[in-house]
């Protein structure tokens, strides 16, 4: 059973600030989602390998080649605050 406390914990982990109203709404939605999983659990999965990916594809890799052309300026354009070519962030 999902409680408001669980929702608050998950919100904290995801750095989300929720209103009281939202907390109530998500508590109900979380419960519904987990109820659905409980329904799935009834299926017999004996001798079935866990699925780790939906695609039946394996070993997609690239060769170790480096691209030296820099995207620096364009990428830094999206920094909330930039200083001397660095991303500037609040003190940690």
Partner 1 sequence: MKTLQQYEPVIGLEIHAQVSTKSKIFCDSATEFGKEHNSQICPVCTGYPGVLPVLNKKVVEYAILTGLALNCEIAKFSKFDRKHYFYPDLPKNIQISQYDLPICKNGYLIIEGKKIRINRIHMEEDAGKLVHAGAAGIAGSTYSLVDYNRTGVPLLEIVSEADITSPEQARLYTEELRNIVRYLGVCDGNLEEGSLRCDANVSIRPVGQKEFGTKVEIKNLNSFRALQRALEYEIERQTDEVENGGKIIQETRLWKDDESRTISMRTKEEAHDYRYFPEPDLVPLEIDAEWIHRIRETMPELPQEKRRRYVEEIGLSESDAAMLVDSVETARFFDRVVNLTGNPKAAANWLMGDITAYLKEKKITINDTQLPPESLAQMVELIEKGKISNAIAKKIIVPLMEKGGSPEQLVEEKGLSVISDEAQIIDIIKKIIADNPKEVEKYKSGKTQVIGFLVGLVMKETRGKADPGLVNRLFQQELK
Selected binder of partner 1 within 40, 41, 45, 58 (CB under 8 A): 58
* Interface with partner 1, residue 40, by CB under 8 A: no
Distance CA 24, CA 19 (A): 9
* Interface with partner 1, residue 77, by CB under 8 A: no
Residue whose pair of structure tokens reads 């017999």 in the numeric block: 44
Distance CA 60, CA 26 (A): 38
Selected binder of partner 1 within 37, 43, 60, 77 (CB under 8 A): 60
* Interface with partner 1, residue 71, by CB under 8 A: yes
Distance CA 74, CA 79 (A): 10
Distance CA 57, CA 83 (A): 43
* Interface with partner 1, residue 70, by CB under 8 A: yes
Selected binder of partner 1 within 39, 40, 63, 77 (CB under 8 A): 63
Q: Give me the residues that bind partner 1 (CB under 8 A), please.
A: 13, 15, 52-55, 57-68, 70-72, 75-76, 78, 83-92
């Amino acid at each position: 059973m999902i409680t408001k406390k669980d929702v608050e914990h998950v919100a904290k982990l995801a750095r989300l600030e929720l209103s009281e109203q939202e907390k109530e709404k998500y508590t109900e939605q979380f419960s519904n989602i987990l109820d659905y999983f409980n329904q799935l659990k009834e299926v017999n999965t004996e001798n079935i390998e866990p699925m780790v990916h939906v695609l039946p594809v394996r070993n997609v890799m690239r060769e170790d080649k480096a691209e030296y052309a820099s995207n620096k300026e364009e990428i830094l354009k999206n920094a909330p605050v930039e200083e001397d070519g660095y991303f500037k962030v609040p003190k940690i």
